Amino acid sequence: MSALTSIKNIGPAFEKSLMAAGITTAEQLREIGADAAYQRLLENGARPHFIGYYVLHMALQGRPWNDCKGEEKKSLRKQFDKIKSGSFDEARSELERFLNQIGVIPADPK
């Protein structure tokens, strides 16, 4: 199994975040894909950041991180916003998100 950092554009800090979200190998990351991996990062408490999202897409395609432009970037932004809205609640604290993950508090208290 290959280290996550064997994928271009994935450095030690990003590797640490991915590993904390349960993604531990380059093969696993390639298998689940950028969208599912990013969703897991958000569900694990990572703050959403569009650049990180498209860097992940570029990394899995073997492209430089700054190769994302024009219509491709616009399309990825729409997908990022969709993932963010379904996986990240800015009104909740990190502790609340963790308690939700382990089932202590309801997912959507209203």
Q: Hey, where are the domains in the chain?
A: 4-101
Q: Count Cβ atoms below 10 Å from residue 90 Cβ, excluding itself.
A: 7
Residue 44, Ramachandran bin (φ over 0: left; ψ between -120 and 50: alpha; else beta):
alpha
**CATH superfamily of this structure's domain 4-101:** 5' to 3' exonuclease, C-terminal subdomain (1.10.150.20)
Instruction: Indicate the range of 8-12, 22-26, 92-96 predicted with least confidence.
Output: 92-96
Report the C-alpha gap between 13 and 44 in whole angstroms: 15
- The pLDDT tens digits for 36-49 are 999 999 888 888 89
Q: Per-residue confidence at 106, pLDDT binned at 50, 70, 90?
A: low
CA 38, CA 53: separation in Å to the nearest integer?
Answer: 7
pLDDT-derived band at 110 (thresholds 50, 70, 90) equals very low
- Mean of pLDDT values over 48-71: 93
Supply 15's token pair.
């590797």
Tokens found for residue 99: 């308690």
The two tokens of residue 70 are: 């024009």
Look up residue 65 and give its two tokens: 């991180």
Determine the longest span between alpha carbons in the chain, in angstroms: 44
